[in-house]
């Protein structure tokens, strides 16, 4: 029987979508290892306890609650020490967290202190004998590797959006634990700047509308924003060509050196489909591409393609989405 420990990522007092995805992955893994329990560390500023309900709905058996004012920002050292302390206090088969910006930072810290192997950017994890087998994309998502992780304990970070959060209600028990004393911090987060107000984060959005150099000018990004507004739940992304030119902030960049996303729907507008861009978005559930060049590589990964001028096609698409949503 293997219990699984999860770090439930939150920001601004709200759970990130990846937290529920990690709990879902842990539920499956605990079940497959012979009926283990799912234990979750929920750490945040005072008031975060209110998020316990969502964790119980998705299958947490025990919630270790840490409320501390210093957790209003990402207190990486104290968080890592707290999760490591909890992992040492129980007999865990795995520690799961999201492969988000914060998860990329925490995962290796936790693994190093536990002297445990780590598998990052994982699409799923299953037990196989004494090992855990995880699926990990490589070569810009062109191949999927099956990695067998030996040893009694593994740290695994799951790719946001790869595992759909599934409800599996439990009557979770909550236990308050203390925030561990942080070792001298090498890096301290002093301020968190919010992205565009009113839009979901690229990692959480079910729909992403992304624009490339085919838009011709920064001001034409307006049509990308309008299509995102029409969907109502969309984030706006961009290629590196666009962020390098200063049309959009670097935080919008999707790709090998930007954000890795896997929304339900990705709309690529005036994007050629360079391998470095595909590395960040080809795992999206459904891809729609609009490009005037029918040979553009983006069409090779697209589920639906429209060959045409973005300045004509996108406003028409926006109108169609508005009409479809208005008619229910
Ligand atoms: C080490 C390294 C890392 C990189 N990391 C990233 C990364 O993380 N993310 C990233 O995106 N890129 C990255 N790049 C850059 C990448 O190689 C491409 O240069 C970039 O993705 C191209 O962006 P684009 O598609 O917007 O522009 P382009 O390649 O210039 O494509 C523009 C497209 O718009 C189409 N178009 C033009 N006008 C219209 C119109 N009126 N209507 C419709 N379509 C039109 C064209 O046919 C073309 O296909 C990286 C490069 C390197 C070397």
223 lines ligand 1 (CB under 6 A): no
Q: Which residue's CA is the closest to the ligand 1 atom numbered 37? A: 214
**CA angle centred on 148, ends 142 and 153, rounded to 5°:** 125
C-alpha closest to that of 237 among 205, 285, 197: 205
| Interval between CA 168 and ligand 1 midpoint (Å) | 42
pLDDT tens for 82-125 read: 999 999 999 999 999 999 989 999 999 999 999 999 999 999 99
> Using an 8 Å Cβ cutoff, are 213 and 242 in contact?
yes
Query: Is the beta carbon of 140 within 6 A of some atom in ligand 1?
Result: no
Q: Note the pLDDT of residue 194.
A: 72
User: Taking the CA atoms of the chain, what radius of gyration do you get in angstroms?
Assistant: 21
- Residues of each domain in the chain carrying CATH 3.40.50.1220: 207-326
* Rounded distance between C-alpha atoms, residue 11 and residue 164, angstroms: 20
Structure tokens, 114: 């536990």
Q: What's residue 183's pLDDT? A: 77
- CATH 3.40.50.620 domain range(s) in the chain: 3-176
How many whole angstroms separate alpha carbon 197 and alpha carbon 95?
33
Is the pTM higher than 0.85?
Answer: no
Q: Which atom of ligand 1 is nearest to the CA of 296?
A: 49
Other residues' Cβ atoms within 10 Å of the Cβ of residue 152:
11
Class of domain 3-176: alpha beta
What pLDDT is recorded for position 238? Answer: 98
The candidate with the shortest Cα–Cα distance to 282, out of 157, 165, 100, 138, is 138
Q: Was domain 207-326 assigned CATH 3.30.70.260?
A: no
The distance from CA 154 to its chain's CA centroid, rounded to whole angstroms, is 20
Distances (CA, A) of 226 to 67, 183, 219, 220: 39, 47, 12, 10
Regarding the beta carbon of 292 and ligand 1, being less than 6 Å apart is answered: yes
pLDDT on residue 1:
59
DSSP 3-state percent helix, strand, coil across the chain (nearest 5): 35, 30, 40
Residue segments in the chain with a per-residue pLDDT below the cut of 70? 1, 185, 195-197
The pLDDT score that the predictor gives to residue 195 is 67
């Amino acid at each position: 029987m293997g219990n699984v420990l999860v770090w439930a990522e939150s920001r601004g007092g709200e759970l990130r979508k990846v937290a529920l995805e990690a709990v879902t992955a842990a539920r499956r893994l605990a079940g497959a290892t012979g009926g283990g329990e799912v234990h979750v560390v929920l750490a945040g500023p005072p008031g975060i306890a209110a998020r316990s309900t969502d964790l119980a709905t998705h299958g947490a058996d025990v919630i270790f609650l840490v409320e501390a004012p210093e957790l209003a920002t990402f207190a990486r050292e104290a968080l890592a020490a707290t999760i490591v302390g909890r992992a040492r206090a129980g007999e865990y088969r795995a520690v799961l967290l999201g492969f988000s910006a914060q998860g990329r930072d925490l995962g290796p810290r936790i693994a190093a202190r536990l002297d445990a192997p780590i598998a990052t950017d994982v699409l799923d994890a299953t037990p196989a004998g004494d090992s855990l087998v995880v699926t990990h994309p490589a070569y810009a998502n062109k191949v999927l590797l099956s990695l067998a992780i030996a040893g009694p304990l593994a740290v695994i970070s799951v790719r946001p959006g790869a595992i759909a959060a599934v409800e599996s209600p439990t009557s979770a028990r909550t236990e308050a634990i203390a925030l561990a004393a942080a070792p001298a911090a090498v890096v301290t987060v002093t301020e968190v700047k919010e992205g565009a107000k009113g839009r979901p984060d690229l990692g959480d959005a079910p729909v992403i509308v992304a624009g490339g150099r085919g838009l011709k000018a920064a001001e034409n990004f307006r049509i990308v924003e309008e299509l995102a507004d029409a969907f109502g739940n969309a984030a706006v992304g961009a290629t590196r060509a666009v962020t390098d030119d200063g049309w959009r902030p670097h935080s919008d960049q999707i790709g090998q050196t930007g954000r890795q996303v896997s929304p339900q729907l990705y709309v690529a507008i005036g994007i050629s489909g360079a391998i470095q861009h595909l590395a960040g978005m080809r795992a999206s559930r459904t891809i729609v591409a609009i490009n005037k060049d029918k040979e553009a590589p983006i069409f090779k990964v697209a589920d639906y393609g429209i060959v045409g001028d973005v300045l004509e096609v996108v406003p028409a698409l926006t109108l169609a989405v508005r009409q479809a949503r208005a008619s229910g």
